[in-house]
Amino acid sequence: MLILSIETSCDETAVSLIEAHGDFPHAKYEILGNSLWSQIDTHREYGGVMPSAGKREHIATILPLLEKTIHESGLGPYDFSPAITPELEEKVRTTLNRELSLADQLLTFYKEHGRFAVDLIAVTTGPGLEPALWVGVNFAKALALLWDTPIVPTNHMEGHILASIYDVERDDQLADIVFPSLALLISGGHTEFILMKDWGHYEKIGQTLDDAVGEAFDKVARLLGLPYPGGPEISKRAATARKKKLPTFTKLPVPMIGSGDLNLSFSGLKTAVRYAVQDKELSEDDVAAVARDFEDVVAEVLMRKTTDAIDQHGIKSLVVGGGVSANQHIKRVIESNLLISHPDVTAYFPPPGLSTDNSIMIGLAGHAHKASALTPAGASILAAEGNKKHRQIPLGEQIV
């Protein structure tokens, strides 16, 4: 089964072509083509993700990325000169009427290249930033109409879970996770514990009550004068502080540790950092020390809550996913602790390149749900299920 997958939920535009050999979850996957454009440079000047600029950039990059992915895969069109009726052209234009020139570009591409023998189009419908999501959803719908291909809506968070068990050392198959499994999803928009009793069974058993952990990294980075996205910046400095054995800059509270439930909170921690650093001239070592103090507390609270969740639900495997799962310190703390407290629980972290947003994970999620695919005409009901929240702290604005 040849799957074209599309991701535009936040600040990455991504398109992949994946061949699935066999059925989910035992298929072997082959990545035939994979292209990704990160909008980080655009958003950096706003201090976070700016929805309108993001939407514009998704529109500008999605077709070039599709072309690049197809080119990389070596897949040729199976129908060079397909008929295009005025009705079909009209449908494509209506589908893409909010995406400015994208309809013209796509129709030109179609007239030049024809159709490609893709079996399924998978697209992220949520959660994410609504204006960004719509670009991918409408583009996928238009493509489905032109190529006469079924289309399957996929959930971005399920994608993160599947990316984390995508095992490149096991012939590109999914790891054979033992249930019940716990997913710890830590990204810029989400921080949640998901109980998985089986494939496709997801129950949220805990979540952040305020900021997502990635958001906290981004905000603390801003307080320290570091650029967006803050996660990698903080983690680099924290590593330096550990190497130099810098003393504690500030004793930060470990939030929600005695709450008895599986909820988390990062807003108070961020505020504590703000109080500790405001009106101070910070040296490079100070910045590194604060970054380390902050990262230590985040790793500790995630590790302790994860351990609680494992105990409370008889968990047999742990899947850590989302952009923040790229954090090596958090990974080390969780893994080394599990080795002692729960040596029978296997922990899975995403392979390099699959922790932050990508479309390979959307292809995997699409494959899992291929039975729910809609016909190109039926796909007109698909809608972006996101929010309009600005994941953005305008530069110059104070972080509260």
**Cα–Cα distance measured from residue 162 to residue 166, given in angstroms and rounded to the nearest whole number:** 6
The total of other beta-carbon atoms located within 10 Å of residue 108's CB is 11
Which of 13, 187, 306, 359 forms a contact with Zn ion (CB under 5 A)? Answer: 187
Site residues for ligand KG4, window 181-210 (CB under 6 A)? 187-189
CA distances from 339 to 102, 106, 318 (A): 51, 52, 12
CB of 125 to Zn ion, least distance (A): 14
d(CA 15, CA 31): 11
Residue 33: which of Zn ion, ligand KG4, none does it interact with, CB under 5 to 8 A by kind? none
Closest CA to 292 of 245, 334, 356: 245
Residue 358 binds Zn ion, judged by CB under 5 A: no
Q: Which of 57, 158, 218, 293 binds ligand KG4 (CB under 6 A)?
A: 218
Which candidate, 128, 50, 140, 124, places its Cα nearest to that of 92?
A: 140
* Interface residue with ligand KG4, options 326, 361, 379, 382 (CB under 6 A): 326
Distances (CA, A) of 390 to 43, 54, 259, 338: 11, 11, 29, 36
Q: Indicate the SS3 state at residue 20.
A: strand
Closer to Zn ion at the Cβ: 149 or 155?
Answer: 155
DSSP 95-147: HTTTSTTHHHHHHHHHHHH-B---SEEEEEEESSBHHHHHHHHHHHHHHHHHH
| Whole-angstrom distance, CA of residue 237 vs CA of residue 288 | 5
H helix runs in 148-229, sequence order: 156-164, 213-223
Rank residues 49 and 106 by Cβ distance to Zn ion and give the closer one: 49
- Give the pairing type, strands 120-126 and 151-155: parallel
Cα 363 from Cα 94, distance rounded (Å) = 26
Report the residue number, 241 or 324, with the smaller CB distance to ligand KG4. 324
Residue 164 sits in the site that holds ligand KG4 (CB under 6 A): no
Nearest-approach distance from CB 131 to ligand KG4, in angstroms: 15
Name the minimum Å distance from CB 187 to ligand KG4.
Answer: 3
Q: How far is the CB of 163 from ligand KG4 (least distance, A)?
A: 10
Kindly determine how many residues on this chain lie close enough to bind Zn ion according to the rule CB under 5 A: 2
Minimum CB separation from ligand KG4 for residue 49, in Å?
Answer: 9
- Assess 357 for contact with Zn ion (CB under 5 A): yes
Residue 321 binds which entry of ligand KG4, Zn ion, none, CB below 5-8 Å type-dependent: none
How near is the Cβ of 47 to ligand KG4 at its closest, in Å?
A: 12
Q: By C-beta, is 129 or 146 nearer to Zn ion?
A: 129
Among 32, 163, 324, 347, binds ligand KG4 (CB under 6 A): 324
**Residue 357 binds ligand KG4 (CB under 6 A):** yes
Q: With binding defined as CB under 6 A, does residue 230 bind ligand KG4?
A: yes
356 sits near ligand KG4 (criterion: CB under 6 A): yes
Residue pair 59/100 in contact by the 8 Å Cβ criterion: yes
Structure tokens at 354: 């699959």
Our finding on whether 327 is near ligand KG4 (CB under 6 A) is: yes
Q: Which residues bind ligand KG4 (CB under 6 A)?
A: 10, 187-189, 214, 217-218, 229-232, 235, 322-324, 326-327, 356-357
Q: Which residues bind Zn ion (CB under 5 A)?
A: 187, 357
